[in-house]
Amino acid sequence: MPSRRAALRLLAATAGAVVLPAPVFAQARHSYDLRPEPVLPGIWMIEGSTEYFSRENGGAIVNCAVLQGQTGLIVVDTGSSRRYGEALSATLRKLDLRGVSAVVNTHHHPDHYFGNQVFADRPIIALGGTMEAARSNGDAFSDNMYRLLGDWMRGTEPVPPNTVIASDEVQIDGRRFTALPLAGHTEADLVLVDAETGLMIAGDLAFLDRAPTTPHADLATWQASLDTLQAVAAPAILPGHGPLDRTGASLRQTSAYLTWLSETLTEAARTGQDMVEIMATPLPAEFAGMGAQPEEFHRSVSHLFPALERAILPRAN
Ligand SMILES: [Zn+2]
């Protein structure tokens, strides 16, 4: 096979100029630029990109919440790689020299917990279902994340949560929360409501201006969880992806999108469309502008449509 170097030599000879070949396997030095923004007294948000995982964004697509505890900082969700966790740890020492005292994982998706490795000697708190799902899916997630993110993932090993949270009223490093054990985005989705400020940390039950993801979703259960969250009437919501929400728009938008997704796929199954036809259908304007579209819609079609189709179509024999 002709090498790139040989091709460049040929090009140089043809052009009569000296061309120095670029190093083919040069590795860019990647680093995360994490910026905690104060959102409420004693609370910061690190806002992720609303794109899908890529080698450009290094998987920094998730929101992290940072709250002042009694002996350090409480971090909710730790990003998608060891390197992200290291950047988080270093950045947060600038806010509180004592660093991170406790970690919470809202659910078992890798962009929310693969930074845990850096905090393995501290309490890493989650629902029991999240701990189990992280244990059983960690290796498969890891393979996929290496494929998507390459060098950003170097040295990353999935570290599941180590502490199961109680429900209702809890204290984490002296800070009081209401813990809501919900589900629907995955089989175990934790929502924390901060007692002091009312901030709701919704994990991936709420997305804002970024398409919801559905690889482990149960849409009806998710809608029921959104009803529960609406009833809390929180003054501010930190969604799993997208900007801070002070109006409840993230809950309404996520619900509207899931309703549309369910109706669209059900109708497609009833009228005998196949996945390629559904994917070719333009998205309504209100959903087309969300981050990671139409890719996320296409992924949802492949996650959700086969089962829906089996449920609706009469079996051939
Ligand atoms: Zn998720």
List per-residue pLDDT tens for the chain, 317 residues long. Answer: 444 454 444 444 434 344 444 444 444 557 899 999 999 999 999 999 988 888 888 889 899 999 999 999 999 999 999 999 999 999 999 999 999 999 999 999 999 999 999 999 999 999 999 999 999 998 999 999 999 899 999 999 999 999 999 889 999 999 999 999 999 999 999 999 999 999 999 999 999 999 999 999 999 999 999 999 999 999 999 999 999 999 999 999 999 999 999 999 999 999 999 999 999 999 999 999 999 999 999 999 999 999 999 988 765 44
Distance 109 CA to ligand 1 centre (A): 5
Nearest alpha carbon to residue 107 among 216, 263, 248, 219: 216
Q: Residue 174 carries which side chain, given as an amino acid letter?
A: G
Q: Give the fold, CATH level 3, of 37-248.
A: Metallo-beta-lactamase; Chain A (3.60.15)
Sign for the CA dihedral angle at 71, 84, 143, 50 comes to positive
* Rounded Cα gap, residues 12 and 18, in angstroms: 6
Distance 94 CA to ligand 1 centre (A): 28
Return the structure tokens found at 240.
């799993």
Task: Supply the pLDDT for residue 29.
Answer: 56
* Rounded Cα gap, residues 297 and 300, in angstroms: 5
Task: Supply the pLDDT for residue 312.
Answer: 85
Distance 213 CA to ligand 1 centre (A): 7
Distance 68 CA to ligand 1 centre (A): 24
Distance 231 CA to ligand 1 centre (A): 22
Distance 316 CA to ligand 1 centre (A): 36
Cβ(125)–Cβ(165) under 8 Å?
A: yes
Distance 112 CA to ligand 1 centre (A): 7
Distance 113 CA to ligand 1 centre (A): 10
Task: Supply the pLDDT for residue 314.
Answer: 66
Distance 17 CA to ligand 1 centre (A): 52
Distance 156 CA to ligand 1 centre (A): 19
Distance 174 CA to ligand 1 centre (A): 27
Task: Supply the pLDDT for residue 11.
Answer: 40
Strand order in the sheet with 37-40: 37-40, 43-46, 64-68, 73-76, 100-104, 124-126, 163-164
Where do the domains of the chain lie? Answer: 37-248
Distance 273 CA to ligand 1 centre (A): 28
Return the structure tokens found at 106.
């809202």
Cβ(136)–Cβ(191) under 8 Å?
A: no
Tell me phi and psi for residue 64, to 5 degrees: -115, 140
Distance 212 CA to ligand 1 centre (A): 8
Distance 105 CA to ligand 1 centre (A): 11
Any idea which residue has 């899916």 for tokens?
137
Determine how β-strand 100-104 pairs with β-strand 168-172.
unpaired
Nearest alpha carbon to residue 101 among 87, 89, 115: 89
Hey, how many other C-beta atoms are within 10 angstroms of the C-beta on 223?
15
* Rounded Cα gap, residues 112 and 308, in angstroms: 28
Distance 85 CA to ligand 1 centre (A): 18
The dihedral region occupied by 313, where left means phi > 0, alpha psi between -120 and 50, and beta the remainder, is beta
